[in-house]
Amino acid sequence: MIKMLTQIRMALFILLVAALVSPAISASPFKVETVVSGLEHPWGMAFLPDGRILVTERPGRLRIVERGKLLAEPVKGLPPIEAVGQGGLLDIALHPDYQNNGWIYFSYSEPKRGIIFSEYGTAVARARLKGHQLKELQLIFSMNKKSDGGRHFGSRLIFDRKNYLYITVGERGERERAQDLNDHAGSVIRLHDDGRIPNDNPFVKTKNARPEIYSYGHRNPQGMVLHPETGEVWLHEHGPQGGDEINRIFPGRNYGWPVITYGANYVTGTKIGEGTHKRGMEQPLHHWTPSIAPSGMAFYNDDKFKHWQGNLFVGSLKFQLLVRLELRDHKIIKEEQLLKQQLGRIRDVRNGPDGFLYLLTDADDGAIVRLLPES
C-alpha cells in the first residue's frame, strides 16, 4: 500500500513538472497551407466575389490568383508608380458595393518628376477591372507635399460602414510634418468613395488645415481595420526604436508623434520629444518595446476558429511572426506569438471569405498562406 501511494505521488509530481515546463499551446491549434507562391514582395490583397484574389506587388504589379494559381500576366492599366525604398504599389481594397459598381481602390507611391531629381508621395486611385485591364482610372487622393526618399508611405485603405474611405499616410521620415495640419504627412485621411471631402471632417473649417485630414500625429501606420462590433477605426503604426502603437482613431485627435512616444532614437537610444504623455495628445491602446515592426491587421470574427473570435491579429516584419491579441472592453489582456520565424516577414493579414485567416509574406519569393484548423 505504501509503495502504491509512493508511485502515485511520483506520477503526480512528474505530471506537475511537465505542465510547468511544457510550452504554451495556442487556444486553437492550426496548420498552415500555402495558397500560392512566386510573388515579389506582395503588400496587400483583396478577395473578389468570384473567388479570385487580387494581390499587389511592391515593385509595381497587380496580380490575379485564380483557382489556386498565380496568373502569369500582370494586370495592365496602372498609373505611374515609383518603387523607391518602402514605396511602390501598396494596399488594395474593394468598394463595399463592389458587386454593383466594380470599383477597386489601390494606394501607391506617386512620382513627381523634376529636372534634377524626383519627389514622391502617397496616392490613391480607383478603377474597374475588365479582364486583365484596369479601366476608368481615377486619381482620388494625392499627397499635397511630396518629398524625396523612400520611407514611411503608410498606405493602408479601409471603408467604414457608411462607405467613407480611410487612408493612412506616413510622415515620410520627416517627423515634424506629422504635427502640421497643412500637410497630409503623418495623418489619416477620410474621403467619400469618389474622393470628395466629407462636410463633417474635423478640419473642414479650420484655417491653414487640410480638410481631408481626420486624425494626425502618426508616424507610419501600416495596419488599419474596423472593429467588428463598434465600427471604430483601429490602426497600428511603426514606432522608432520601440514604441510601435495600436490606436483607436477618433476625428480631430492628435496621436502625438513626434512630441510624445514610447520609442527612442535609433542607435543612440536617446529621448524623442517631450516624453510619453502630454495633455491634448492621445495615448495608445497598446504599444510594443522593442518594436515588432507591425504590418497588416485583422479582427477574426468567423466560426472556423471559435476560440479566436474577436481576437486581433497583427503581422510582424522584424520578428517574422503573427501576434494574436485577446481583448476585453477595448483592453488587451493577452498576447500570443505564433509562427515565429516559420514564414518570414508577415506583411498583411486578412479574413478570407471562407472563414480562414490569410497572410502575405514579404520576400523576393513571397506567398499567400492561410491558417486552417488542425483536423
Q: For residue 236, indicate whether it is catalytic.
A: no
Catalytic residue among 41, 95, 152, 218: 152
From first CA to last CA, the distance across the chain in angstroms is 43
Residue 238 contacts by C-beta under 8 Å, 6 or more apart in sequence? 152, 219, 220, 221, 222, 244, 291, 293, 294
How is residue 241 annotated by DSSP? B
The C-alpha angle 332, 336, 339, rounded to 5 degrees, equals: 145
Collapsing DSSP to helix, strand or coil, 3 comes out as helix
Question: What is the Cα–Cα distance from 320 to 338, expressed in whole angstroms?
Answer: 9
User: Peptide bond preceding 353: is omega within 30 degrees of 0, i.e. cis?
Assistant: no
Collapsing DSSP to helix, strand or coil, 170 comes out as coil
C-alpha dihedral, 336 to 357 to 247 to 167, nearest 10°: 150
Neighbour count for residue 174 (Cβ, 10 Å): 18
Question: What is the Cα–Cα distance from 141 to 363, expressed in whole angstroms?
Answer: 28
CA 332 to chain centre: 18
Q: Strands 294-299 and 103-112, how do they pair?
A: unpaired
Catalytic residues: 152
